[in-house]
A and B are shown apart, each in its own frame.
Chain A
Amino acid sequence: MASHTQALSRDPELLRVEQLSVRFGGIVALNKVNFTVQPGTITALIGPNGAGKTTAFNCITGFYKAHEGAIWLRDRDGQPQDMVQLQKGYFGGTHRVARAGIARTFQNIRLFSEMSVLENLLVAQHQLLNRNIISGIFQLPRFRASEAGALETARYWLKEVDLESSANLLAGSLPYGSQRRLEIARAMCTKPRLICLDEPAAGLNPRETEELAKLIQKLRGTHQVTVMVIEHDMSLVMGISDHVVVLNYGEVIASGPPDAVQKDPKVLSAYLGTEDEG
């Protein structure tokens, strides 16, 4: 383990997944998975259905506890921190992983649908706000400033995802495509360094998918966030990602730049089957 840690402090990568294994009963969902995510890149995680992509995501974002292995995220000072350890202990849990700088969206959208669009973005900034009860009840200047700042950030992100006019709509009443964008904006409001998008293009039409691709590139380009994305839409994946990791049956079968991965015989056989099988 020590050698890996040393390796991490030499290399510039933001996230290193090491020997990650997850089992559900007798089923091995992930088997000694290794990959890295370089800062400022868009990394795609692809694979056939049931390959373990979402399981890997849930481990990275702290929703599942890995049985073995480690997930190192470089903290703001450049020191690697193990996300698996953050989930342990009485005060540990998913929220600590999120606070370490990993935000995510969900395959089936999880907005606070009975709250307004703007409130969704305010909730996301919870950790960054003045949460002093006394200060809030008496509306002290510090509290007002903190709330005004939060509102400004929320409006900024609404503008970024083209939802300015929907600020006072209930989130649940938005059209599907807008809900997807709002979920990304909400994740960005936590000021993450790594954002994990779980099938962001599912259910979008081609025009919306194109806009989504632009948005993801803007997240990386303008907002300096590292992006990890699970996606089935191959044209989107190949178009935007710098690095692709292919999973099949819980194991990494290929990783590299999109062009190389596309030609990899193992990937082709995973997706299309091999001639021998027929």
Chain B
Amino acid sequence: MKQNFGKRLLGALAAGFVTLILCGPISGIRLDGYEFESQFKIPLLFAAAVTLLRLLSDFIPWERVQADSGELQPGPERFGALSRTAFALAIFLVAASLPLMGSKYLLSISIVALIYVLLGLGLNVVVGFAGLLDLGFVGFFAVGAYGYALGAKYLGLGFWGALPAAALTAGLFGAILGFPVLRMHGDYLAIVTLGFGEIIRLVLNNWLDFTGGPNGVDAPPPTFLGWEFKRSATQGGTPFHEVFHLDYSPLYLDSFVYLALLSVVGLSIYGVSRLRRMPIGRAWEALREDEIACRSLGLNHVAIKLSAFSIGASIGGLAGVFFAAYQGFVSPVSFTFFESALVLAIVVLGGMGSLVGVVLAALFLTLLPELLREFSDYRILVFGIAMVLIMIWRPRGLIRMRRPYFPQEGA
């Protein structure tokens, strides 16, 4: 790879140059009355970004499997456990330093992006690992969100109590969904799960006495060790800024939600990547590959399916709690089929079963509409075109699922 670095650099520069030619006239020249005003900063930035990405893409091992022989390549296993932990920790710390930039806008879109990362991770277990096409995943998101809002309203449940409670409740709902669909595959399964998601939304919409119906429910802002992050305490705690004698800033609440969410995302990534290498994760994948062969090996397909549904659902439930806590309000409008479709798109585009892919796709698909705000009329169009293009060029998703590599004995 090193010997033709010059060639790659040349290619990258050429790509940047083409970008400059393509983008220059569109984004670099602005009409001001009858005058032209040239702004070369923007196309130059574009070109630099393209050059850099082109160069980087050569060093990112997109394909973990050699296309011709089907031979697996060693993944991160070749680095020691220590350096892998250090790498993960470094990424976590970089991500955790985002609140220091002091931008509320950046924080809020990052929170939304991370919520979708969590949803993507959850659905990835069901669709990517176990191969069960679930079109009603938003139902579990709703269970988590309403679990927090209603738990706070009726049971006085706090944020930290709601996290495990919502995960368990959503997991239970996952298992309940699992039972009737045990014998279904593919299209039939997709339709039933679609119905399940809609049922949850309709129940939330119509059960006026309990859920507030279309009016929604207020969800209290999260607290931590009795500290509240609002200007004045409303839940019997002390405001955070008073404890530390700081000036009040609306960033505190967002930063706290962001950091808590980031930790949960980190733990989920760790948990899911461990599960993949455990017997249960292997069984999920085997079930996706061939259910009949699974049964012939003594694997109980019922238990395996139910566990995939409920573990995926409980991660979705966690995302729901963060959504409710951050928005401060939940209503059935947030849990439409479009959300399920978006999460499914995240999993499929990212590469079914690939954790890195799902995280990247979730960030991409939630941040892209923000970047495209100027073209807001065409957002969904651009979104759709991007999906079609990715499916043409990378039918297995951005990053193909990496299989565990087992080094030769004694090597």
Contact = CB atoms under 8 A, between A and B. Distances in A.
Interface residues of A, number: 46
Nearest to A98: B298
Given A104-B296, A131-B280, 17 more contacts: A63-B292, A63-B295, A93-B300, A93-B301, A95-B297, A98-B298, A114-B289, A115-B285, A115-B286, A118-B406, A123-B282, A127-B299, A136-B274, A173-B71, A186-B297, A187-B296, A190-B298
A5 interface: no
B406 A190 contact: no
B295 A94 contact: yes
Contacts of A95: 295, 297-301
Interface string A108-130: 00111111101100111011011
Interface string A57-91: 00001110000000000000000000000000000
B92 interface: no
Contacts of B69: 169, 173
Interface of A: 61-63, 93-96, 98-99, 103-104, 106, 110-116, 118-119, 122-124, 126-127, 129-131, 133, 136-137, 139, 143, 151, 155, 167-170, 172-174, 186-187, 190
Given A126-B283, A133-B278, A173-B70, A115 B289 contact: yes
Given A61-B296, A113-B289, A119 B282 contact: yes
Given A115-B403, A168-B405, A170-B65, A103 B279 contact: no
Contacts of A106: 292-293, 296
B409 interface: yes
Contacts of A131: 278-280
Contact of A170 (B70, B278, B297, B408): B70
B296 A94 contact: yes
4 nearest A-B pairs in the assembled complex, by CB-CB distance: A173-B70, A98-B298, A112-B289, A136-B278
Nearest to B270: A137
A172 B70 contact: yes
B276 to A, nearest CB: 10
A173 B403 CA distance: 14
Contacts of B294: 123
Nearest to B271: A137
Interface of B: 65, 69-72, 271, 274-275, 277-280, 282-283, 285-286, 288-290, 292-302, 403-406, 408-409
Contacts of A168: 71-72, 405-406
Given A95-B300, A112-B285, A137 B274 contact: yes
A190 B296 CA distance: 10
A130 to B, nearest CB: 8
Contact of B282 (A114, A126, A173, A187): A126
Contacts of A127: 298-299
Contact of B72 (A113, A116, A122): A116
A126 B405 contact: no
29 contacts: A61-B296, A63-B295, A95-B295, A95-B298, A96-B298, A98-B297, A99-B298, A103-B297, A106-B292, A115-B285, A115-B403, A116-B72, A116-B405, A119-B282, A122-B282, A123-B286, A126-B279, A126-B297, A130-B279, A131-B279, A131-B280, A133-B280, A136-B274, A136-B275, A136-B277, A137-B275, A151-B406, A168-B406, A173-B70
A104 B293 CA distance: 9
A106 to B, nearest CB: 7
B280 A136 contact: yes
A103 B296 contact: yes
Contacts of B288: 114
A168 B78 CA distance: 14
Contacts of A126: 279, 282-283, 297-299
Nearest to A127: B298
Given A110-B290, A112-B286, A190-B298, A169 B275 contact: no
Nearest to B403: A116
Residue with the highest number of chain A CB atoms closer than 10 Å, among B69, B70, B71, B301? B70
Nearest to A120: B286
B355 to A, nearest CB: 15
A99 B297 CA distance: 8
A139 B289 contact: no
A167 B404 CA distance: 11
Nearest to A191: B298
Contacts of B293: 106, 110-112
Given A119-B404, A126-B298, A112 B409 contact: no
Nearest to B73: A168
